[in-house]
């Protein structure tokens, strides 16, 4: 690809990313699950289970709210990714995607543009969650750099989940299917130590957590925000998030090629 071509494709990616974000913010009902639901769960879990700090094996953390905020951030990333797939399926079902296919742009840019919107959404979400939690008493001893790392890890994770959701949307083109896989996203969340330390999970869940990439991401975010490296390794989190994003973006690109081949 020439330099001019790369610039043109970059513009396409930015334009599609902006469109994905503006659609999200124009329809308030789409914001409810992505912005409000994780905060509601955070508020309820923070108040409903904070007695867990009295358990002998619970790590000594200054703020229980700060301990569980990483679970909320990753939940937001999951929902942002799923929203991407839902919007993708809507574009396919209502014919907008067919019009994009007729445009003289690289097909991969169509997928990457959509995922760029996911990145933007995730950054906004994570920032929002961190600010709200801070207002309610969470403190982040890891400092500004830790917050940046947490937001970046969440954004890459959202990209990864967006890749899976986009692949499903491209394979099926079904909006209703994407809407109904919402509960399965929570399987990924609950098989990671999202709200509780890994050592205190039920044995079966603890075993499953070892194979869930979100485990390493959520622990990395927790380690960063609390400033306690024993709670999570940032490099393991980064490797898990990037690995997930690379594999699922490849899946989405493959699904696009399959769709074009069979169309």
Residue 235 CB, nearest distance to another protein (Å)?
25
The contact pattern for another protein, residues 160-189, with x = CB under 8 A and - = no contact, is -------------------xx-xxx-xx-x
Applying CB under 8 A, does 55 fall inside the site for another protein?
A: yes
Residue 213 CB, nearest distance to another protein (Å)?
17
Residue 163 CB, nearest distance to another protein (Å)?
22
Kindly indicate which of the ranges 7-15, 46-54, 91-99, 220-228 contains the residues binding another protein, using the contact rule CB under 8 A.
46-54
Locate 260 and state its tokens: 């074009």
Nearest to 149 by CA among 213, 42, 227, 68: 227
DSSP notation for the chain: --HHHHHHHHHHHHHHHHHHHHHHHH-HHHHIIIIIHHHHHHHHHHHHSGGGGGSTTS---S-HHHHHHHHHHHHHHHHHHHHHHHHHHHHHHTTHHHHHHTSSS-HHHHHHHHHHHHHHHHHHHHHHHHHHHHHTT---TTHHHHHHHHHHHHHHHHHHHHHHHHHHHHHH--HHHHHHTHHHHHHHHHTTTSSS-GGGS-HHHHHHHTT-HHHHHHHHHHHHHHT-GGG--HHHHHHHHHHHHHHHHHHHHHHHHHHHHH-
Residue 237 CB, nearest distance to another protein (Å)?
19
Interface residue with another protein among 6, 7, 14, 40 (CB under 8 A) is: 40
Applying CB under 8 A, does 7 fall inside the site for another protein?
A: no
Interface residue with another protein among 191, 215, 224, 248 (CB under 8 A) is: 191
Interface residue with another protein among 201, 217, 240, 244 (CB under 8 A) is: 201
Applying CB under 8 A, does 200 fall inside the site for another protein?
A: yes
Count Cβ atoms below 10 Å from residue 168 Cβ, excluding itself.
Answer: 22
Q: What residues from 224 to 243 belong to the interface with another protein (CB under 8 A)?
A: none
Interface residue with another protein among 54, 145, 230, 263 (CB under 8 A) is: 54
Applying CB under 8 A, does 194 fall inside the site for another protein?
A: yes
Q: How far apart are CA 203 and CA 198, in angstroms?
A: 10
Residue 168 CB, nearest distance to another protein (Å)?
15
Interface residue with another protein among 195, 221, 223, 249 (CB under 8 A) is: 195
Applying CB under 8 A, does 22 fall inside the site for another protein?
A: no
Applying CB under 8 A, does 41 fall inside the site for another protein?
A: yes
Locate 114 and state its tokens: 């959509």
Chain positions contacting another protein, by CB under 8 A: 27, 29, 32-33, 36-37, 40-41, 43-52, 54-55, 57, 179-180, 182-184, 186-187, 189-191, 193-196, 200-202, 204-205
């Amino acid at each position: 690809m020439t330099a001019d071509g790369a610039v043109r494709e970059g513009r396409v990616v930015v334009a599609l990313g902006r469109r994905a974000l503006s659609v999200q913010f124009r329809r308030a009902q789409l914001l409810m699950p992505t912005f409000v639901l994780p905060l509601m769960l955070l508020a309820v879990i923070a108040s409903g289970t904070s007695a867990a700090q009295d358990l002998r094996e619970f790590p000594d953390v200054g703020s229980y709210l700060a301990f569980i905020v990483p679970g909320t951030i990753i939940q937001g990333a999951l929902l942002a990714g799923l929203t991407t797939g839902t919007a993708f399926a809507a574009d396919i079902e209502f014919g907008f995607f067919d019009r994009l296919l007729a445009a003289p742009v690289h097909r991969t840019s169509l997928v990457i543009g959509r995922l760029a919107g996911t990145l933007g959404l995730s950054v906004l979400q994570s920032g929002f969650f961190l600010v709200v939690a801070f207002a309610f008493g969470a403190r982040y001893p890891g400092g500004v750099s830790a917050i940046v790392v947490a937001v970046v890890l969440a954004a890459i994770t959202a990209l990864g989940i967006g890749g899976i959701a986009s692949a499903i949307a491209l394979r099926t083109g079904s909006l209703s299917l994407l809407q109904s896989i919402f509960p399965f996203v929570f399987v990924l969340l609950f098989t990671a130590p999202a709200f509780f330390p890994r050592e205190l999970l039920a044995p079966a869940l603890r075993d499953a957590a070892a194979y869930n990439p979100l485990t390493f991401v959520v622990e990395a975010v927790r380690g960063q925000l609390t400033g306690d490296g024993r709670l999570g390794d940032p490099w393991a989190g980064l490797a898990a998030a990037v690995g997930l994003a690379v594999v699922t973006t490849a899946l989405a690109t493959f699904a696009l090629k399959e769709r074009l081949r069979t169309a």
